[in-house]
Structure 1
Amino acid sequence: MSGKVLLTGISGFVAKHVAIELLNSGYEVLGTVRNSSSIDQTKKTLEENNVSTEKLSFVKLDLLKDEGWNEAAEGCKYIIHVASPFPLKVSNDRESLTPAAKDGTLRVLNAGINAEVEHFVKTSSIVCMFRKPNRSNPYTFGENDWTDLEWDKTTDYFVSKTRAEKAAWDLMKSKGLKNSLTCINPGFVLGDFLNEKTSTSMEYAKQLLQGKYPAAPKFSVMISHVKDVAKAHVLSLSNKKAGGRRLIVGSEVRSILELSKIMAKNIPSHAKKLPKRELPNFMVKLISYIDTSAKTMVPDLGLKMQTDQTYAEDILQIKFTASEIAVVDAAKSLIRLNLA
């Protein structure tokens, strides 16, 4: 493949894997960073993974500012917009993350539209699909479902991702460009953490391995291997069937206790630290008042989600990786990096 791709947030967990997939597929990549200090580390990490950085360049841009986006998009055939805030802690202000997520998305898309970019791929999430009141248990969600933004239990990250994805579709439809956009909607993304740069996915996995959870919350989520997520972004660039679609990328739904058991079986050195039982829901709710990172799980405690992602496998012509592999790859990389 050839053509220049503007890749936002290149130093992030998912975006580094997208960069590897792009460069190995022959694309030219212009990666955006918020801080110039992350350029050297990102380049070094890619080279350590046997990736040629000959076709890689960087530009410093801010999702909260207009400056530079039009210039960066010039000459690009594609845009992959990955950058979006995902903090571990939950804010009481449900709209706290919206400016960077939603306004940033619109800045990137408008710059691409002005530059006549051929196709846009946006990293979204299943959090845009599954949170709503009065769900059955188990509950099923799919490509046409949206998280309820009016529900007061929809927390800041869910609000920001949903507003950003809705705004992206609204803009592209208004320009008659709906089929020029693909959204990739993974679940909890795990896999090889390529360097020490922290991410929320990394923190949750790290806390499990370090014994921070004496017992596991009754929380289940679909697991997505980061390599599948990266491949889905890159394959969507030139796949006409992916245009105008929201692609759910992931494999099995797993509970936190199941993740713990997978880690204990495959990483016996850490088995004693991993939780072996589940925590009553009321305890998680109490903990969430002290540790706001637990708030993210509270509305979904005890609920089992289910979805059918085979349509995305059919469109992309790939088979998504088993959740166990994603969990083990994440754990082993944390140990390799001396982070657990």
Structure 2
Amino acid sequence: MTDKVLLTGISGWIAKHIAIELLNSGYEVLGTVRSQNSLEKTKKTISEYVSTDKLSFVELDLLKDEGWNEAAKDCKYIIHTASPYPMKSSRNREALVPAAKGGTLRVLNAGIEANVEKIVLTSSIAAMFKRPNRTNPYNVGENDWSDTEWSGSNDYIISKTKAEKVAWELMESKGLKDKLTVINPGGVNGDALDDKENTSTKYVQLFLKGKYPMAPNFGILISDVKDVAKAHVLSLKNSKVNGRRLLIGSEVKKMLEISKIMQDAFPKYAKKLPKKEMPNFMLKLISYLDSSAKLMVPELGILMQTDTSYSEDLLGMKFKPAKDSIVDAGNSVIRLGLV
């Protein structure tokens, strides 16, 4: 009998890659969608890369209890990726929590009820690195948590942190911590499979369109979307990663370094890409008008450091160089006609 995986939010960019990895690995996949509108397009995209004979869909809402237990009951594993990730920040710091935290509880409780063997949760480095009084440079590791009370944490940071924390609390309270593995990517780059807009590739698109005359002065861990997908799938049957938080990515890159990689790879767009670093005061001024810039302000001038080799060792894989992920992202944005 084929092992069946409930994959939440299958229409998402990372989740589509996970679906392809699962199907290529012989799993049966039941993907959840919020509405029928995204079902056909998602299936079409996935079918261009792998047979969809073992792929089915169910319409479920993270904000509603109905249907989750039924969806999970015949599944051996759950991969929970569904969570809101908007481009713009909301003034309501709790705006995304109901879907992120409440949705996580619904999915995990359904998995517990169905006695699934393993749950893999998609979190983010966002749940780890946002906190006050950091050194410069500062280190981010498996035991670090973002401070949801800090003014430097926005609605997305708060939602990811609270959702991951409640997942650990629930599984530990049931004595099931070893049934949970959490994947924490950084800034996800790589191949966009279709033209559905997502926040990660949107930044690449804006860079190539010349929307950033100068690069903000901060850096982020670069994670390749295929590495992130593979990490989820490898975690299903790997007891070494039970109860662990896995940082995924190879290198931290500053925004100006990302721009330089793009200039070399895409000379046609070089004139539009930033050549200089933006003064910190300028980004602070912009942040009053552009909510997407607010997330960057607390990071200005300090450098993130992290060691992801423990994740590579536990998973038995090697993460792609940041340069390759950035070039793949640019190539796909250009191929899809998004610039």
TM-score category of the 2 structures, normalised to the smaller one: over 0.9
The letter for the 1-side match of 2:24 is N
TM-score by length of 2: 0.99
CA shift at 1:47, angstroms? 1.5
Deviations 1:211-231 (Å, cap 9, x if unpaired)?
A: 000101102000000000000
SS of equivalent to 1:86: coil
The 8 Å contact of residues 31 and 58 in structure 2, kept in 1 or not, is answered as yes
Which residue in the other structure is 1:275 paired with?
274
Residues 1-340 of structure 1 mapped to structure 2, 5 A cutoff: 2-49=2-49, 51-340=50-339
The 8 Å contact of residues 286 and 293 in structure 2, kept in 1 or not, is answered as yes
Q: Distance in 1 between matches of 2:46 and 2:208?
A: 26
The letter for the 1-side match of 2:121 is K
Deviations 1:49-77 (Å, cap 9, x if unpaired)?
A: 2x000000000100000011011001100
Q: Distance in 2 between matches of 1:332 and 1:35?
A: 30
Q: Distance in 2 between matches of 1:32 and 1:207?
A: 30
CA shift at 1:82, angstroms? 0.3
SS of equivalent to 1:193: coil
Task: Identify the range of structure 1 (162-171 vs 2-11) with the bigger mean alpha-carbon deviation.
Answer: 2-11
SS of equivalent to 1:216: coil
Q: Distance in 2 between matches of 1:152 and 1:216?
A: 23
The letter for the 2-side match of 1:244 is G
CA shift at 1:112, angstroms? 0.7
Aligned length: 339
CA shift at 1:296, angstroms? 1.1
CA shift at 1:203, angstroms? 1.0
CA shift at 1:149, angstroms? 1.5
CA shift at 1:153, angstroms? 1.5
Spell out structure 1 runs of 4+ moving beyond 2 A: none
Q: Distance in 2 between matches of 1:248 and 1:141?
A: 9
SS of equivalent to 2:288: helix
SS of equivalent to 2:320: coil
Q: Distance in 2 between matches of 1:272 and 1:151?
A: 38
The letter for the 2-side match of 1:317 is G
Deviations 1:96-125 (Å, cap 9, x if unpaired)?
A: 100000000000000111011110000001
The letter for the 2-side match of 1:48 is E
The 8 Å contact of residues 204 and 329 in structure 2, kept in 1 or not, is answered as yes
CA shift at 1:237, angstroms? 0.2
CA shift at 1:48, angstroms? 1.4
CA shift at 1:2, angstroms? 3.8
Q: Distance in 1 between matches of 2:190 and 2:305?
A: 21
Alpha carbon RMSD of aligned pairs, Å? 0.8
Q: Distance in 1 between matches of 2:269 and 2:157?
A: 32
Q: Distance in 1 between matches of 2:69 and 2:52?
A: 24
SS of equivalent to 1:147: coil
The 8 Å contact of residues 126 and 160 in structure 2, kept in 1 or not, is answered as yes
Overall identity of the aligned pairs, in %: 65
SS of equivalent to 1:29: strand
The letter for the 2-side match of 1:240 is S
Q: Distance in 2 between matches of 1:42 and 1:90?
A: 26
SS of equivalent to 1:327: helix
The letter for the 2-side match of 1:310 is S
Q: Distance in 1 between matches of 2:210 and 2:158?
A: 30
The letter for the 2-side match of 1:15 is A
The 8 Å contact of residues 258 and 326 in structure 2, kept in 1 or not, is answered as yes
Structure 1 residues not aligned, in runs of 5+: none
Q: Distance in 2 between matches of 1:70 and 1:106?
A: 12
